[in-house]
Structures are given as C-alpha cells and as structure tokens.
Amino acid sequence: MWETIQASLGIVFQIKSILIIIFSTFMGILIGVIPGLGSFVAIVMMIPFVMNLAPEVGLMAIIGIYVGGMYGGGIASAILGIPGTPMAAATLLDAHPMAERGEAGKAIGLITTASVCGGLISAFILMIFSPLLARVALLFGPPEYTVLCIMGLSTVAILVTGSTVKGLISAFFGLLVSTAGTDITTSFTRFTFGIAELEAGIPLLPLLLGTFAVSRALLMIEEGIKIKKHPPKKLVPKYPSRKLVWRIKSTYIRSSLLGVFIGAIPGAGSTIAAYISYGEAKRRSKNPEEFGKGASEGVVAPEAANNAEAGGAMIPMLTLAIPGDPQTAVILGLLFVQGLIPGPNLYRDHGDLLYALFIGMVLCNVAMFFIGMYGTRLLLKLLMITKTTVLIPILLLLVTLGAYSITASIFDLWIMWSFGIVGYAMNKFKIPQPPIVLGVVLGPILEQAFRRSLAMSAGSPFIFFTRPLALGLILFIMFLLFWTKFSRKGMADRT
C-alpha cells in the first residue's frame, strides 16, 4: 500500500497536475457562482476537456470542478442573495442576512472554512474506508445490485423537492432512455428506429449537455439572470476568530460527518445533506432563534455538509459503481468511458490512480481555501462585468464544441438540441432533472443485474427478499428514506 501511495504522490505533485487542480477548482467556483448554472453544469461542460487528459489528471480536474462548484454556490448565496446551486439554498438562510448587516467578509470566511473542513474530512474518510468497503462489495451479487440501484433512484426521486410522482417520472424516463441501442448481452437492438447512429445508444454527454446546459441557456434567455446587486465595495473575507471556531467546533465536525454519511446513501445528494445538517444545527443550538437572521452555525452547517457530501457520494460510486448523487453519476459515466470499472478490481488494478484522486481532493480543498479567501472579489467582479448577451452565446458555443468533440459526430448535436428541449420542458413543468441522470447512468447496471437475478431465480421476483443481504439493504434504505423525509419535514416545520 505504501508503494501505491508513493506512486500516487508522484502523479499528484507534478507541475501540470497542480496547475490543473488550481485551474479546475477556480473554474468550478466561477461557474458555480453564476446563478442558474452550478456545480453540475460545470462538471458536464468541462467533461469534453477532461476526457482529453490522462485519466488520473482528468479525474482530479473533475473533482476540482465538483468541489469548487459547490463552494461557488455558497458565495453566490451570501453575497448576491441568489443560491448559485440548489444545495446552497440552505446556506442562503443565514449567510445572506449576515452579509446584509455588513458582515459579508465574515460570511465568506465561515463559508470557506466550513467548506474546506467538510471537504477535508470527507477526503480522509474516503481514503481510509473506501478500500475496506470495496472488499465488502465482493459479497454483492446481482440481486443486491438491483436493490441498490432501485433504492438509489427512489431516494433521489422521492427526496427531491417538489412532486414525488414527477421525480419518479424523471427517474424511470432516464432508465427508459438508457435502454435504447444495442443490448450488451444479446446484441439485439431496441428503440433505434432504423437509425444507425442509435445502435450505440443515446450518447451520454450530449444528453447531459442538452438536458442541463442548453436548457439553462434557454431559461436564462427567458428569465434573464437577475443579479440585483453589486458586491460590497469593501469585500474582504475574514478568517473566523479562534474563539468563534472553538465555540462552534462541534457544528463543523458534526455537519461534515453528517454530509459524508448522507452522501454515501445512493441518490441522497448534497441538497438533502445541507438541509438536514442545518436542521440538526438549529435543533442543537443554544440560540435557535438566531437561525435565519445570520447565525454563524447556520452558515457553517449546510456548507460543511454539502462539501463533505462530495466525498461521501464517491464511496458507493467507487466501491459499488452506484453513484451517490447526480454529480458522481456523471463521474461514473466518465470512468466507464475511460474503461475504469468501479469495484474491488479498480482498487487492485488502479490503486495509484485512486489514491492520486484522494490526494487530489485534499489539494482541491486547499486550492479552494486560498481562492476563496483571496480571490472572491475578483470572481464576483468577473461575474458582474460579463454581460448576459455575451455569456449565453459563449455558453452555447462551448457546449456545442463539447458535444461534438466526443465522437466528432453531427448526430450528437441533434441529440443535444433535442434533449435541450426536454430539459427546458422539465424545468417549466417542474419535473426534477437529477433523477434522469441517475436513470441514464444506472440503467445498464440495473437492467443487467435485474435480468441476471431473474435468471438465477428462474423468473421468481422473491429472490430480492430471500437473500439476506438484499433484504437487509431494502430495510436499511427504507429506514433511511423515512428518517430523512421525516427530518426534512421537521426541519421545514421549524424553519
């Protein structure tokens, strides 16, 4: 293992790798700050660039964008009063009132330290526990994978904000889309309608770019980016005082651990982690009445949780190939494209790459700290001077080049424009988008596991209830589903 770690250090501590980590974290923060875009769109847009890098460097770049994007959303919440990302909506509850009363620098300092704390704790937990959990994955057979996939989809569909029915529609539609193309077991085709390009299935990246990035551009055109205010003239991020940090140290740590734990639940996501952490912090606070008015714990709790969730979400993704959230679903898709199959074999055959990823995660958080504390004003200035009339065409050009670059096929552009309409319609009809990503990425895994399970049981569906591990997973995840739904309801009542 020490040789593996040494090899990983050699990969990470090269000038090129360090520069890519810094640049990708910066880009993640920049895109995450733009209202309407966020970390998910940032990841999707940067994938075409990342795919042309070596796998280990590309994965570190994606992590930088992921981590930076989460943080950028928090900055937008505090300063602009607009959550740059859905998970930053919980941060806005206290960060924006704090900024409004003249403590914008303190808000940025708390957001930055909380994000870094959550990110570092989750990186270390990921580094220590995921190799152990990878061995547990050997016990998982097709029925267990089927249960995990279904529960992951159900979790994200049921726990997203809004209608559960619409969340499930999104998830099952994503699964259906994944069935188009050539079946990998039998080589027979489905839903190709005689189109040769569809025999390889609907390409993932153009689908994602269309559903998320193109639809965002359409919404920006329709609604406009309403940035009401400019950043305060004297925006100087301030380090939180030692006394304050010591007073709320338990909030930092508890929220980070909660974020990792919730992130490890397939499909739960950082929005859930942020809200649950906020609710817990308020419940345990000696001054709960201050929440919603600029309480320091109210800023720290959701930010630590949503950044910690990133590491947690990577645990099931790397060990079981089940993404913990939509962002890791995209990363999983990227791993598949690069021929890296998550599971115990990945740790055995590409251990140096994985440890490079973990170390890279630590460095991304360090980069985020310095960019956040010393570069926030520049970031916000860049945002202010960029006109919408320039941003939208450049965004569309970038996604076009991105979609085209994968297979140099014009057909992929048609797929992207088509799913742009689908994504736009989903936004207008309030059908949540994250479940469709999980559906598309998990579809092939779920189908193969489902069919193998039925083949094992000669067609009987009771195999999912007679295998102890599968049944245990069903019960565990149902308990978590009810607990998180109950906690969210309780938190909504209290806030």
C-beta of 229 vs 430, nearer to other proteins? 430
Residues from 154 through 213 that contact other proteins (CB under 8 A): 162-163, 165-166, 168-169, 172-173, 175-176, 179, 183, 185-186, 188-191
Q: Does 450 bind other proteins (CB under 8 A)?
A: yes
Q: Does 455 bind other proteins (CB under 8 A)?
A: yes
C-beta of 331 vs 426, nearer to other proteins? 426
Q: Is 35 left (phi over 0), alpha (psi -120 to 50) or beta?
A: beta
Q: Does 386 bind other proteins (CB under 8 A)?
A: no
Q: Of 83-91, 122-130, 262-270, 404-412, which segment contacts other proteins by CB under 8 A?
A: 404-412
Q: Closest distance between other proteins and the C-beta of residue 281, in Å?
A: 27
Q: Closest distance between other proteins and the C-beta of residue 47, in Å?
A: 13
Task: Fill in the per-residue mask, 217 to 256: x = in contact with other proteins (CB under 8 A), - = not in contact.
Answer: -x--xx----------------------------------
The residue count for the chain: 495
Q: 243, 286, 287, 389: which one contacts other proteins (CB under 8 A)?
A: 389
Phi, psi values for residue 189, rounded to 5°: -100, 155
Tokens 């709320």 belong to: 248
Q: 408, 462, 468, 493: which one contacts other proteins (CB under 8 A)?
A: 408
C-beta of 120 vs 171, nearer to other proteins? 171
Residues from 136 through 165 that contact other proteins (CB under 8 A): 162-163, 165
Report CA-CA distances (Å) from 473 to 152, 194, 450, 480: 11, 41, 16, 10
Q: Does 454 bind other proteins (CB under 8 A)?
A: yes
66 vs 367: CA distance, rounded Å: 13
Q: Does 390 bind other proteins (CB under 8 A)?
A: yes
Residues from 43 through 82 that contact other proteins (CB under 8 A): 49, 52
Q: Does 419 bind other proteins (CB under 8 A)?
A: no
| Residues near other proteins, by CB under 8 A | 49, 52, 162-163, 165-166, 168-169, 172-173, 175-176, 179, 183, 185-186, 188-191, 218, 221-222, 387-390, 392-394, 396-398, 400-401, 404-405, 408, 410, 413-414, 417, 421, 424, 428-431, 447, 450-452, 454-455, 459
